[in-house]
Amino acid sequence: MSGGAGELIKVIRDVEVVQIPEGHRIRLARNTEVRVMQALGDTFTLMTEYHTMVRLEGHDADAIGRTVAAVAAADTDQTITAEELRERVWHALRSVFDPEIPVNVVDLGLVYKCEVKPLDGGYKVDVDMTLTAPGCGMGHVLKDDAERRIKVLPQVKDVYVGIVIEPQWDPSRMSDAAKLELGLG
């Protein structure tokens, strides 16, 4: 899915969204006008007619007349090594986007730890990530998004994504690509 930024559309059904940056769930009523600000991964950042920024999940894309590609279910019969799974976890994390910044959490430098350990014929995945600002209301949304994307990977038996505040994030942690995307490089 690509940008589509700036397009003004009407919501075609009532839909639950997450208010940015507070992280509260709110309902957008049918016929509310919204502007698509960002369409990355399988989520949309929208600006409402009331100048409230919200995040719409991909499974509700029909509410704005869009579709997103379905996430493939895990192939439970597939055997992979811990290192192969670790690479897939990093790839999955690259599909988690900050709803205010058009850069994924890996390139933003928000992921501090990614460990894959054997567990009951499969693996346990432990991820520590931080936020661009302490106390950001979107922390639980990004955490849940990361967990959801990791859980569908083959042989994942357990997932833990923790939000850490130390060390505090700073822009030096961003990849060169992220710096260029944001005009900082």
The reply to whether the predicted model has a pTM over 0.75 is yes
**Mean pLDDT of all residues belonging to the chain:** 90
**Mean pLDDT score, 15-24:** 94
State yes or no: pLDDT of 73 exceeds 60: no
Q: Which of 24, 1, 28, 23 is nearest to 13 (CA)?
A: 28
Domains and CATH numbers, the chain: 8-64 (2.30.30), 82-181 (3.30.300.130)
Beta bridge partners of 17: 26
Cα gap 64→33, rounded to integer Å: 10
| Residue of 78, 9, 73, 76 lying closest to 37 (CA atoms) | 9
Q: Report the percent of the chain where pLDDT is more than 70.
A: 92
Token pair belonging to 173: 């942690």
Higher pLDDT, 71 or 161: 161
CA 77 from centroid of its chain's CA atoms: 27
Quickly state the pLDDT bin for 66 (edges 50, 70, 90): very high
| Per-residue pLDDT reduced to its tens digit, 104-162 | 999 999 999 999 999 999 999 999 999 998 888 899 999 999 999 999 999 999 999 99
Judged by DSSP in three states, 156 sits in strand
pLDDT tens per residue, range 79-100: 899 999 999 999 999 999 988 8
Q: Report pLDDT for 79.
A: 86
Q: How far apart are CA 109 and CA 158, in angstroms?
A: 24
What is the C-alpha separation between 105 and 20, in angstroms, rounded?
16
51: left (phi over 0), alpha (psi -120 to 50) or beta: left
Q: How many helices (H) does the chain have, and how many strands (E)?
A: 3, 9
DSSP H helical ranges for 37-117: 82-93
Map tokens 């949309």 to a residue: 44
Here the tokens at position 57 are: 């999940």
With cut-offs at 50, 70 and 90, classify the pLDDT of residue 72. Answer: low
pLDDT-derived band at 3 (thresholds 50, 70, 90) equals very low
Q: Where are the beta strands (DSSP E) in 102-174?
A: 111-119, 122-129, 156-163
